[in-house]
Structure 1
Amino acid sequence: MEKDASEPEPSRQRNGFVGVLYGEFTDMLNDRVRYSVSLTESALTIQRISSSPGRTKVVFNLTDCVGCRAYKGPDSSDVGAYFTAYFYPFKRRWMSAGVARQRVEQCFRVALVQDPLANLHEAERWAHAIRDASALQASRRDGVMYTEVRRPCRVMILVNPHSGRGQALQLFTGHVQGMLTEAAVPYTLVITEHQNHARELVRKVDLSQWDALVIMSGDGLLFEVINGLMEREDWQEAIQTPLGILPGGSGNALAASIHHYSQSPPAWNEELLLSCGFMLCKGLVGSLDLVSIHLASRRRLFSFLSLAWGFVADVDIESEKYRHVGAIRFLMGTLVRLASLRVYQGRLAYLPVKEAPKLPKGSIKAHLEPSTPNHPSLCSSLPCQFVPNSSPSQNSLHNRKSTNSNQNTISNSSNNAITTKRSETQSDGKTSALVDSLLPELDQPVPESWTVVKEEDFVLVLAVYQSHIAEDLWAVPGAMADDGLIHLFYVTAGISRPALLRLFLAMEKGAHLASGCPHLVYEKVKALRLEPITPHGMISVDGEMVEYGPVQAQIHPGLARLVCG
């Protein structure tokens, strides 16, 4: 087949993309079926060439493309070459009103001349142009340029074979492995062999060999990885290694949160895995807040998801015995704990976020609002969909149960921004530990600028820094991965079992904050302290049980990096 004489030559390099391409190619399986194919900066358009009117045209958005490859045919006598593009567009689910990403493969045979090398060169030109245009579209999403994992990247994927129902490895090989191959993402698979294996590995590994660390498990394995990175002498550089998550556990809260931040339609199970695999292949990187948590033993942990005491921690830990049933373990644990609802006595204090004053109508926001962070972040660019206002009942409860002192600033910090001193360089050149400038010692009183909740009976205290605490529990609809906030919830004693169950059912749709429950309090905070008085109980961090006793925490905005789109 001869090249179309009207085909324009590639334009000069423009913003990382070589201009419009046009060609006519045949079907991979049938040389009599011909297509006209055109590539622009945003789309690949395919139209079947036929004599009949109304030719079918299919347009693929390049934001849905993970890769494209060129290759020779299996028959050595075939002078043609081939290129195949891989797309994961949203399509209607089978027997469902919803949509989810589904794989579509488009393959074309290039036989412009009788020279096999010339045909292969043309196929490679198309594959290269499609990959470049796809990467450019991804990095420009929402009109902002984003950080991107270096290409070709080297990825370490850590798989916990026992997570969830023990199917993480099968899920990886069945749903993700092929996608990574299509996207030309080289990876090394590491199967964890025991608890804290991942923590020990990343504490010692040469991170210069890896462009990203990816976890195929539940949230617990990422907790290990983050704390292993923060225990390194070069923690400040190590924690900048992009982190990815592929849901293979029971809770999968961070995976659900990242999917939500991408503004994609709701997804669960394998559809959520496919979405996270797609985002890993696209390789866009945003910022991730971490929370520094101090325990009574003076041990310090770093958390990316949640700190829980009471009902939520009980369900998290006690439902481990049902791990073999998968995500339904949390429902089983919830019903068991509701049947014998516990109440815990303790003290709670926190540093509230001072909300920016509402602007009068007609004011110019651009001149009055704080500037955006100087780091490119996909996650932070997405708008909050729901920012609840406290109901009158919540406000009256808060005023009745707590004491607010004046809003003086704490030493080295303020209510509006964290001026944390990140690290100091010692005389031997090593980086010292991260400084938590908002937190006093645990045996010292909290600063006067904190809000202190009087000694109270609690059903639960939950501090969250992502939108979800499980695949199907949308805890903070307005949260973002790098919003610099701890979203603090507590439920006081006196709530009935049916009312508590209704709260969690409402959380499936993110509607619990609008329920008007008088026992539920929600605050945005920068730091908090919890002091249990009840002698026995459970505290969990990112779903993992930690020592029981006084605990305090502080947010560190954008400390880590997250593959999130």
Structure 2
Amino acid sequence: METDASDPDPSHQRNGFVGVLYGEFSDTLNDRVRYSVSLTESALTIQRISASPGRTKVVFNLTDCVGCRAYRGPDSADVGAYFTAYFYPFKRRWMSAGLTRQRVEQCFRVALVQDPLANLLEAERWAHAIRDASVLQAPRRDGVLYTEVRRPCRVMILVNPHSGRRQALQLFTGHVQGMLTEASIPYTLVITEHQNHARELVRKADLSQWDALVIMSGDGLLFEVINGLMDREDWQEAIQTPLGILPGGSGNALAASIHHYSQSPPAWNEELLLSCGFMLCKGLVSSLDLVSIHLASRQRLFSFLSLAWGFVADVDIESEKYRHVGAIRFLMGTLVRLASLRVYQGRLAFLPVKEAPRFPKGTIKTHHPPSTPQHPSLCSSLRCRLAPSTSPNLCNSTNSNHNTITNHTIPTKRPEAQSDGKIGAPLDSLLPGLDQPVPDSWTVVKEEDFVLVLAIYQSHLAEDLWTVPGAMADDGLIHLFYVTAGISRPALLRLFLAMEKGAHLACGCPHLVYEKVKALRLEPITPHGMITVDGEMVEYGPVQAQVHPGLARLICG
């Protein structure tokens, strides 16, 4: 017989039980096996009812629960009803000391009376209570302000089927689709057909239909979505639409960063996808900084990840030919570019963060990141003694080839807005015109020969490149790295290898400089080269940037 939280059972009172629900249900496969089930605000506790002493008890933290559903069984003659709760707790990896989220479901049969409808109503009561409690118990990081995606939420999921190893759609159906069903999240799947397709869609979409926009691809597709939102006349409202990322590309930098911000154990590949899918189902939203970038042609872009020139940009673009091999493309591109290391001439200036301590020029600000387990990587077998910064492995997946059908037509709200220099976009108060000198408060770098310049605003530059151990998605900072000429090829390679563990800032390197800045300007002098924004190649020439703290919203944990 099932009772509620006021159950007078003295054993519960002796144990200090103050619950939400308590009941006794049978096993779905064997009706003779019964369980006592207790639901509190933070946990679901399951104990097999047995005459033997020392009954085993299993406790599931509702922080790990994505949803619960009630339903009738397939047999119409069965008067019972069922409810199943879905959990993704951390468990040991197979043949590894590491932890990763793994799916666990708990299913119970409700047959309190001979009335099928009454049993179904009771199962629904439990499913509703578990869902509500699990939303309140979403994992939160101390010091971060969160809101929640409206429930039930309506999600548009944009998939680039050609990102990474061209497996994004298969990864979605194989790993994410079921989680969304378990979490009762309705979604519309949109398959992008060509470059800038996503930008065009969100620029014209009626965003009132959607509670979140989720990207299943590499970082390049999110770059399109953000700039499509900022193209709109109602950009201030549009950019507040929560954005989610599911890793389906080669680098997956933002996905790796979000996973890192959640303080979860390190994860890669499908484990990272499972983690991001879990955070999407929990639906917590925090702030995301965007960086406004001005090009020489007066075009203005909005970036969420990075601005790169030199070695990093070269590897990212030149490794496109190896896209079919997945994330290893960056390692291959790095080795090729190291074989013929280039030096670029240019001028660099930046506005340092006032609170940051000043260091003598030519030295590096050191940071001692927490130790992290070594993860599987082709680079991990190499031991690194030297540890400075910025790395060749670019986090991004571009949208260069899209040849698929769109599964859904997005209704339009208003005509296409002007994208370049439109009135009303956030004001870049820190930036002079590109044809004007920088203010006296800026720092001008004397060295003019660079191997690379990298401005990054997330913790990771790729799944296996922990570039800024202390970064947060809304720290209001541009983390600026540059490597000057004179560094040897082995030393540069060691920098990138050390970055796998976030150890590159723990040791000094005379050619590496790291600064926290609010704005910057880069003026290439070398006539030919590549500049990338979020891994997408942009016009080559003078460029400047300013951070806008918390301009967008990000689904994270």
| Shorter-chain TM-score range | 0.7 to 0.9
Task: Name 2:440's counterpart in structure 1.
Answer: 448
Determine if contact 2:4/2:23 at 8 Å carries over to the other structure: no
- One-letter identity of the residue aligned with 1:324: H
Give 3-state SS (helix, strand or coil) of 2:163's partner: coil
Shift of 1:144: 7.4
Once the two structures are superposed, the pairs formed by residues 88-127 of structure 1 within 5 Å of their partners are 88-127=88-127
Whole-angstrom distance in 2 between the partners of 1:221 and 1:83: 38
Whole-angstrom distance in 2 between the partners of 1:198 and 1:221: 7
Determine if contact 1:8/1:22 at 8 Å carries over to the other structure: yes
Shift of 1:552: 0.2
Once the two structures are superposed, the pairs formed by residues 239-258 of structure 1 within 5 Å of their partners are 239-258=239-258
Query: Which of residues 529, 544, 562 in structure 1 aligns to 2:521?
Result: 529
Compared CA separation, residues 356 and 505, structure 1 to 2 (3 A)? closer
Whole-angstrom distance in 2 between the partners of 1:255 and 1:466: 10
Task: Name 1:417's counterpart in structure 2.
Answer: none
Task: Name 1:130's counterpart in structure 2.
Answer: 130
Compared CA separation, residues 25 and 141, structure 1 to 2 (3 A)? farther
Over residues 264-322 of structure 1, what are the superposed CA-to-partner deviations in whole Å (9 max), with x where a residue is unaligned?
00000000000000000000000000000000101000000000000000000000000
Shift of 1:432: 1.6
Once the two structures are superposed, the pairs formed by residues 466-477 of structure 1 within 5 Å of their partners are 466-477=458-469
Compared CA separation, residues 357 and 544, structure 1 to 2 (3 A)? closer
Over residues 216-269 of structure 1, what are the superposed CA-to-partner deviations in whole Å (9 max), with x where a residue is unaligned?
000000000000000000000000000000000001000000000000000000
Shift of 1:357: 8.0
Over residues 508-544 of structure 1, what are the superposed CA-to-partner deviations in whole Å (9 max), with x where a residue is unaligned?
0001011211110000000000000000000000001
Over residues 145-177 of structure 1, what are the superposed CA-to-partner deviations in whole Å (9 max), with x where a residue is unaligned?
730000001000000000000000000000000
Once the two structures are superposed, the pairs formed by residues 360-509 of structure 1 within 5 Å of their partners are 386=369, 432-509=424-501
Give 3-state SS (helix, strand or coil) of 1:480's partner: coil
Shift of 1:77: 1.1
Whole-angstrom distance in 2 between the partners of 1:100 and 1:134: 20
Task: Name 1:518's counterpart in structure 2.
Answer: 510
Once the two structures are superposed, the pairs formed by residues 155-174 of structure 1 within 5 Å of their partners are 155-174=155-174
Q: 1:296 and 2:296 equivalent?
A: yes
Further displaced range: 136-145 or 310-319: 136-145
Determine if contact 1:139/1:148 at 8 Å carries over to the other structure: no
Q: 1:553 and 2:545 equivalent?
A: yes
Shift of 1:433: 2.0
Whole-angstrom distance in 1 between the partners of 2:490 and 2:190: 45
Whole-angstrom distance in 2 between the partners of 1:544 and 1:166: 18
Task: Name 1:541's counterpart in structure 2.
Answer: 533
User: Structure 2 unaligned runs (5+)?
Assistant: 9-17, 359-366, 371-386, 389-421
Task: Name 1:3's counterpart in structure 2.
Answer: 2
Give 3-state SS (helix, strand or coil) of 2:161's partner: coil
Whole-angstrom distance in 2 between the partners of 1:308 and 1:260: 22
Determine if contact 2:239/2:552 at 8 Å carries over to the other structure: yes
Shift of 1:3: 2.9
Task: Name 1:152's counterpart in structure 2.
Answer: 152
Task: Name 1:190's counterpart in structure 2.
Answer: 190
Q: Which has the higher contact order (CA 8 A, sep 6+)?
A: 2
- One-letter identity of the residue aligned with 1:45: T
Q: 1:331 and 2:331 equivalent?
A: yes
Shift of 1:141: 6.1
Give 3-state SS (helix, strand or coil) of 2:446's partner: strand
Whole-angstrom distance in 1 between the partners of 2:470 and 2:453: 19
- One-letter identity of the residue aligned with 1:516: G
Equivalences, count? 491
Whole-angstrom distance in 2 between the partners of 1:202 and 1:342: 39
Shift of 1:142: 4.3
Give 3-state SS (helix, strand or coil) of 1:138's partner: coil
Once the two structures are superposed, the pairs formed by residues 187-266 of structure 1 within 5 Å of their partners are 187-266=187-266
Give 3-state SS (helix, strand or coil) of 1:254's partner: helix
- One-letter identity of the residue aligned with 1:323: R
- One-letter identity of the residue aligned with 1:91: K
Compared CA separation, residues 143 and 58, structure 1 to 2 (3 A)? farther
Over residues 454-509 of structure 1, what are the superposed CA-to-partner deviations in whole Å (9 max), with x where a residue is unaligned?
24100000000000000000000000000000000000000000000000000000
- One-letter identity of the residue aligned with 1:353: V
Give 3-state SS (helix, strand or coil) of 2:431's partner: coil
Once the two structures are superposed, the pairs formed by residues 307-346 of structure 1 within 5 Å of their partners are 307-346=307-346
Over residues 397-441 of structure 1, what are the superposed CA-to-partner deviations in whole Å (9 max), with x where a residue is unaligned?
xxxxxxxxxxxxxxxxxxxxxxxxxxxxxxxxx972221000000
Task: Name 2:556's counterpart in structure 1.
Answer: 564
Whole-angstrom distance in 2 between the partners of 1:53 and 1:141: 40
Over residues 39-61 of structure 1, what are the superposed CA-to-partner deviations in whole Å (9 max), with x where a residue is unaligned?
11110000111112221111100
Shift of 1:73: 1.1
Determine if contact 2:447/2:484 at 8 Å carries over to the other structure: no
Whole-angstrom distance in 2 between the partners of 1:265 and 1:346: 40
Task: Name 1:403's counterpart in structure 2.
Answer: none
Task: Name 2:399's counterpart in structure 1.
Answer: none
- One-letter identity of the residue aligned with 1:8: D
Whole-angstrom distance in 2 between the partners of 1:183 and 1:385: 39
Task: Name 1:21's counterpart in structure 2.
Answer: 21
Whole-angstrom distance in 2 between the partners of 1:145 and 1:256: 20
Q: TM-score, normalised by structure 1?
A: 0.84
Give 3-state SS (helix, strand or coil) of 2:26's partner: strand
Task: Name 2:48's counterpart in structure 1.
Answer: 48
- One-letter identity of the residue aligned with 1:137: Q
Q: Percent identity?
A: 90
Whole-angstrom distance in 2 between the partners of 1:73 and 1:535: 70
Q: TM-score, normalised by structure 2?
A: 0.86
Determine if contact 2:284/2:555 at 8 Å carries over to the other structure: yes
- One-letter identity of the residue aligned with 1:491: V
Give 3-state SS (helix, strand or coil) of 2:223's partner: helix
Determine if contact 2:308/2:453 at 8 Å carries over to the other structure: yes
Determine if contact 1:385/1:478 at 8 Å carries over to the other structure: no
Give 3-state SS (helix, strand or coil) of 1:557's partner: strand
Determine if contact 1:100/1:271 at 8 Å carries over to the other structure: yes
Compared CA separation, residues 141 and 261, structure 1 to 2 (3 A)? closer
Give 3-state SS (helix, strand or coil) of 2:246's partner: strand
Give 3-state SS (helix, strand or coil) of 1:454's partner: coil
Task: Name 1:420's counterpart in structure 2.
Answer: none
Whole-angstrom distance in 2 between the partners of 1:97 and 1:488: 35
Whole-angstrom distance in 2 between the partners of 1:71 and 1:563: 30
Compared CA separation, residues 210 and 194, structure 1 to 2 (3 A)? same
Shift of 1:139: 7.1
Determine if contact 2:459/2:470 at 8 Å carries over to the other structure: yes
Determine if contact 1:139/1:147 at 8 Å carries over to the other structure: no
User: Structure 1 unaligned runs (5+)?
Assistant: 10-17, 359-383, 388-392, 395-429
